[in-house]
Amino acid sequence: MTTQKGPIIIITGTPGTGKSTHAQLLANESPIPLRHINVGDWVKEKGLYENYDDKWQSYTVDEDKLLDELEPIVAEGGIILDWHTCDVYPERWPDLVVVLRCDHTLLWERLEKRGYPLEKIQENNEAEIMQVVLDEARSSYPDLPVVELQSEGPDQLESNVARIIEWIQAWKNDHADEES
């Protein structure tokens, strides 16, 4: 979806790959103001879920409620959608999809530090090895650029954000006529 205010960028990846870290830095450094929406936090804060699963320590999202809540905000443009899944959004929403990847041993350490239960760490680790989120992104947005970026250290964080900023700059140039 193209809008006047700014692009819609999805940053997705297995939990712990660095979505929020990237999204925050990107929002700080972007040449166009971007609003960072941590969708998981939104789901909790706004009660956009059906129930809470104690075993997996996760919420079952009410997708209709979530999309209703997001729709008017996304319509304004200039948004980063930060979430570990990306197949719930309408295909017309995003302009760019970024999938963060991480070595599974490092990911395991990050999730352990987060205090996730063992089964949840194992499930996420397997998902990362099987590139579940990347496949989901490619099949959900076949006509869009789906960019796979490694997120294992600070150098990669910086170069990934710089690369996305280059893309934003190009988007800005392409939409210069629409600016009021």
Answer for which of 103, 145, 153, 178 binds ligand ADP (CB under 6 A) is: 153
Token pair in block for residue 57: 């320590």
Q: Which residues pair with 58 in a beta bridge?
A: 53
Interacting positions 62-101 with ligand ADP (CB under 6 A): none
- When asked if residue 131 is in the footprint of ligand ADP (CB under 6 A), the reply is no
Structure tokens at 45: 């804060």
Among 6, 7, 10, 13, binds ligand ADP (CB under 6 A): 13
Q: In what order do the strands lie in the sheet with 35-38?
A: 35-38, 79-82, 8-13, 96-101, 146-150
Closest by CA position to 148, among listed 139, 129, 135, 158:
135
By beta-carbon proximity to ligand ADP, the closer residue of 85 and 151 is 151
Q: Is 16 in the site for ligand ADP (CB under 6 A)?
A: yes
Using CB under 6 A, list all residues that contact ligand ADP: 13, 15-21, 110, 151-154, 156-157
